[in-house]
Every structure is written in C-alpha cells, then in structure tokens.
Amino acid sequence: MATKALLIVNARYLDPALNLCTGNILIKNGIIEKISPDPICIDRDHACINADKLIASPGLINAHTHLPMVLFRGLGDGYPLDQWLHKVIFPMEAQLTPEDVYAASMLAIAESIHAGCTCLADMYFFVEEIARAVDVSGIRAALSLGLVAMNGEKGLQDAEAFYKTYHQSSNSRISVHLAPHAIYTCPREYLKEIVTLSTYLDSKIHIHINETKKEIDDHFATYHQHPIETMHEIGLFERPVLAAHCVHLSDHEIKLLSEAKNFLLVHNPSSNMKLASGIAPIAKYHEKKIPLALGTDGAASNNNLNIFLELRLASLLANVSQMDAGTLSSKDMFRMASSNPGRFLGPEKLGIIEEKAPADVILIDLDESHCLPHHNILSNLLYAVKGSEVDTMIVNGQVIMKNKVICSFDETEIKRNFLRISQKFKPV
C-alpha cells in the first residue's frame, strides 16, 4: 500500500516507555517511518500536521465489544446478566437484520473514533456487515462470529468461511478470530470442535470467561470442576485466547491462566458494575503476570464505548478493591489500553509510538480547562480526560479524523440512518 507521507511536527508524544518526549513523526506506507527531534524534510505535496498544542498518543484499543449493541443503548437497565440476556437482549437480537447491524456498527465506530479508539476486538453476528463498516471507516479491528452450540456444524462452517474471506483483509486492518460465546453456551464438546478448528486455521480465540458467579456455580454442578479447568482440559489455552471479564477466578484458575501460552485478559469494569457481576481483581492478576487489557463490552451494558472512561474506572476500582492507592502504576494501567492488547492483536508493535510501528496515533488537545496544568500527562490521560479531547486520528497511516471531524465517512448521514432504524427497538 503506497500512500503519501504525513509529517507530524513539534509533537509531544508518549514513547514506548510512556515517557513524554518531543519530536517530529514521519508516517509513510502505514507505518511510523521516522521519529526525530531534528527537522524532517518531506516533499511539498505531502501532508503536514502541526501538533505543538497537541499530545500524540498511541491509539487506544477496545479489546472486547459488540458494536451493533449500540441499538439497545438505554434498554433493559436494572437486570442482572442472565435476566438481561433472556428478557431483553435475545428477543431484540432476534429482530436484527444485516442492514440494522451495518447501520449500528457505523454509529458505534463513529462513537469509538471520537473517544480515541483506533482498534477494537468485536464478537457478534452478521459479521460481514461489521467488516464492511470497519472497511469504510478506516479503523482497525479483530472481528469474530459469536458461536453458540445451537449453531451446530453450520456455525463452524460460517466462522471458517468468514475467516477465510476476511482475515488480513482491508490492507490487513481486519483480522478474524473464532468466538465461542462462553462455556455455558458452548458446552465441552462444541468448544473442543472450535479449538480444533482454531488449530486448523491458526486463528486466535475470543471468548467470555467467568463473568458471573451463577455461571460458575452452574458449571460446577454439572462438571464438578471450575470452567477454566474444563477449558484447560480440552486444550483451549494451547491456542492464543482473548478472554473478556474473568471476574471470579479460583486460585487454581489464576495459575492456569498465568501458565497459558498466549493469553489476554480483558477487564470490563463498567459492564461488570452495571450488571452487578462483580469486580475483577486485576491487581492480583497483574501480580501473577497475566497480560491485561480493557474493554467496554457492548453499549447495552455500559452504556458507551469510551476506553478513556474505562481507564479511569479501572484505575479507581483497582485501588479501592485493594484499599491501596498504588496497586498498578499509571503506566501499567495505560498499557492495558495500548501495548498489551496491541501485542496480542498485532501487527508487531501495535499500541506504541516507535519507528516501524503501525501508524495508529491519536492527537489529543489537552488545552481544555479540566486538562490543565500538564504536570503529569499520563495522569491527565488516566483521570482527567473524557475522550472528547481527541482532535485527530490516524490509523494505518490514514487520517480518519481531523479537528474532531471524521473524514472517512459522513457522520451526519450515519446518525440519521441509525436513528431511523433504532425506532423499531422498544423498551421492554
């Protein structure tokens, strides 16, 4: 992919160690070609952004979401997970059409872009429509077709076909994972088939694990072991696994995850609080060196797609749940939204600002009153920023938002279409 060069001049940027440096950043062919404190020359017809009033940060990564669920935002508040799913979500999902999924995905991506998210990991259905939205929008995504046992062989065939068609598509911005929804919807034998398919395709796996106490108790009553012990037995952790939630883990389960070959635990603080699922003890997981990331989950259980807000909540919750204000450092926390998921999702160096890294960069305007002074930029990004300060977004070397206006699609039209479609989904 040959593109024009883009030069960001006079940027204060976060280096791979998350220290604040100043320099000029040259972007070419989708990657960060050069970073230098000295002037960099480019041809006159190449683009240049003066960033002297902006902070350049790695684009944030939302490592677990269900984009089309923005259609259900505000519906079904007040239920715990099992009732929320069966009384509210599943009946509405049964009405969804491919057109609805595309319209909702575009809206969700617009929301994500405004909040600084350059890359996300999604699990849903009508996934071809989500891939189309990702392609049009210019963001990066790991997409997956959510599988439940009732899909049977047809589900596996559809997931394989989706993988073969879309993995590494759209200039490699789209990757594809296999997504068994959870062990309570994909019992042992079906999950085993998915692991076999993942080995055959060499694909990664995206799954929900141990979100609520109820699902763990139900599993124990049937199998006389904890869910992660069953998953371990059937070889799930021989594969690269991205697991959302992991709210309630036994010490043995934590040990198994810490020994997994390539594992990413995605913390979803807002969703876990909203559905009263609990608080994942991430300080304990961090101590055991389990790689951590952050996700919003779907907008129906959050109710937004804003990783800056998840960063703030995750930091505060980690402190208060341990009654210790220094359980994870600011850098540890910020890595949960950048280099940790970047390392799992790829390509190499995703989630950092460094030469040869993918050019996924956001420029943030920290000149607003609530972001002053700049004694500690990382602290401002964790605790003070709301997401709306993101001014410019570059993904794979392409500018997809500038001066807070999305350039890759017409957001006004997307909102209009989305509101029209949303009319058919009524509160229960």
Q: Could you give the CA distance from residue 339 to residue 19 in angstroms, rounded to a whole number?
A: 14
Here the tokens at position 354 are 């460094």
Output the smallest distance, CB 102 to Zn ion, in A.
20
Task: Output 12 or 267, the one with its CB closest to Zn ion.
Answer: 267
Which residues does residue 243 pair with via DSSP β-bridges, in sequence order? Answer: 207, 265
Output the smallest distance, CB 141 to Zn ion, in A.
15
Task: Output 66 or 286, the one with its CB closest to Zn ion.
Answer: 66
Task: Output 64 or 312, the one with its CB closest to Zn ion.
Answer: 64
Output the smallest distance, CB 50 to Zn ion, in A.
40
Output the smallest distance, CB 294 to Zn ion, in A.
13
DSSP string, 95-131: T--HHHHHHHHHHHHHHHHHTTEEEEEEEESSHHHHH
Output the smallest distance, CB 181 to Zn ion, in A.
8
Output the smallest distance, CB 89 to Zn ion, in A.
11
Output the smallest distance, CB 277 to Zn ion, in A.
11
Task: Output 28 or 245, the one with its CB closest to Zn ion.
Answer: 245
Is 10 strand, coil or helix? Answer: strand
Task: Output 297 or 391, the one with its CB closest to Zn ion.
Answer: 297
The 3-state DSSP composition of the chain as helix, strand, coil percent (nearest 5) reads: 40, 25, 35
Output the smallest distance, CB 244 to Zn ion, in A.
5
Task: Output 73 or 349, the one with its CB closest to Zn ion.
Answer: 73
Is the four-CA dihedral 405, 410, 416, 421 of positive or negative sign? Answer: negative
Q: Which residue is at the shortest CB distance from Zn ion?
A: 297
Output the smallest distance, CB 72 to Zn ion, in A.
13
Q: Could you give the CA distance from residue 300 to residue 283 in angstroms, rounded to a whole number?
A: 27
Task: Output 297 or 389, the one with its CB closest to Zn ion.
Answer: 297
Output the smallest distance, CB 257 to Zn ion, in A.
18
Here the tokens at position 414 are 């997307």
Task: Output 68 or 397, the one with its CB closest to Zn ion.
Answer: 68
Task: Find the helix or strand (DSSP H, E) in which 46 lies.
Answer: none
B/e letters for 297-333, b = 16+ CB within 10 Å, e = fewer, are bbbbbbbbbbbbbbbbbbbebbeebeeeeebbebebb
Task: Output 246 or 282, the one with its CB closest to Zn ion.
Answer: 246
Q: Could you give the CA distance from residue 140 to residue 282 in angstroms, rounded to a whole number?
A: 26
For 84, half-sphere exposure in the C-beta direction (CA atoms, 13 angstrom radius) is 21
DSSP string, 190-254: HHHHHHHHHHHHT--EEEEES-SHHHHHHHHHHHSS-HHHHHHHTTGGGS-EEEEE--S--HHHH
List residues binding Zn ion (CB under 5 A). 297
Max intra-chain CA distance, the chain = 69
Angle (CA) 401 405 408, round 5°: 50
* Long-range CB contact pairs, 347-350, < 8 A, 24+: 347/172, 350/61, 350/119, 350/140
Task: Output 297 or 411, the one with its CB closest to Zn ion.
Answer: 297
How many secondary structure helices (H) and strands (E) does the chain include?
A: 16, 17
